Amino acid sequence: MSRLILYHGSLEVVQKPQIDKGKVYNDYGRGFYCTEHLELAREWGCNEGVDGYTNQYEIETDNLNILNLAFPEYTVLHWLALLMNNRKVRSSAPVVKRGKEWLKEHYLIDISSYDAIVGYRADDSYFSFARSFLENGITLEQLSHAMRLGNLGEQFVIKSQKAFDEIKFISYAPVNHKEYYPKRKSRDEEARAAYRRELERSDVRGIYMINLIQGEVDPDDPRLR
């Protein structure tokens, strides 16, 4: 039997997660967003000037259909297509609109049959990296590298009623924002600093969003993996 311990950082105690409570415009749509890492949950539960909570749960996964975007058959483009399908990008650049359409046409995964999703968490840093790629500011390789910077973490998202029925509340604990908001900010700044160093590296042969849109890259190109 496969059992996971999950944590949800929040401004409140959530003893009974509900399928209809999540925001539609989250990374993977409506769902209950958790992590397997307690320290990340503590950071995610704190806003500036406000204490929060970590909620602890357990969930049986044997009978759940889980989409794990870290598996070899998926790429950062699959993650980006899902992100663009759910999140709003504030940009007037025509290439961004065309890029979103191209990604959804070629890489969007139908997640309707999945009970849960494991993938990157698009906080401020990761979302800015994704936007830079859409705006032709960085290459695909630089984006893929950026997503591994700063140890910003993955999330486990409960999507279906079946999965909600499996998740069980264990306990909660208060989180002091004076300790964990600075940690959250430091982790974000670390990722951004590493990202800036990555941009100093020349990638003249890399793949830009415009190359994908214009069909200049073969679908079997190993650089897409």
pTM confidence score: 0.89
Number of structural domains (the chain) is 1
Mean pLDDT of 2-7: 94
pLDDT, tens digit, 9 for 90 and up, residues 166-190: 999 999 999 999 999 999 888 888 8
CA distances, 169 to each of 31, 108, 176, 222 (Å) = 16, 32, 21, 43
The domain of 219 spans 3-224
How far apart CA 66 and CA 189 sit, in angstroms, is 31
Contact 81, 191 (CB under 8 A): no
For the ranges 55-64, 103-112, 150-159, the lowest mean pLDDT is seen at: 150-159
pLDDT, tens digit, 9 for 90 and up, residues 6-21: 999 999 999 999 988 8
Give the residue among 158, 3, 155 at the shortest CA–CA distance from 65: 158
User: Does 1 have pLDDT greater than 60?
Assistant: no
pLDDT, tens digit, 9 for 90 and up, residues 69-103: 989 899 889 999 999 998 877 777 788 889 999 99
Contact 181, 47 (CB under 8 A): yes
pLDDT, tens digit, 9 for 90 and up, residues 59-74: 999 999 999 998 989 9
pLDDT, tens digit, 9 for 90 and up, residues 199-220: 777 666 789 999 999 988 877 7
For the ranges 22-26, 34-38, 180-184, the lowest mean pLDDT is seen at: 22-26
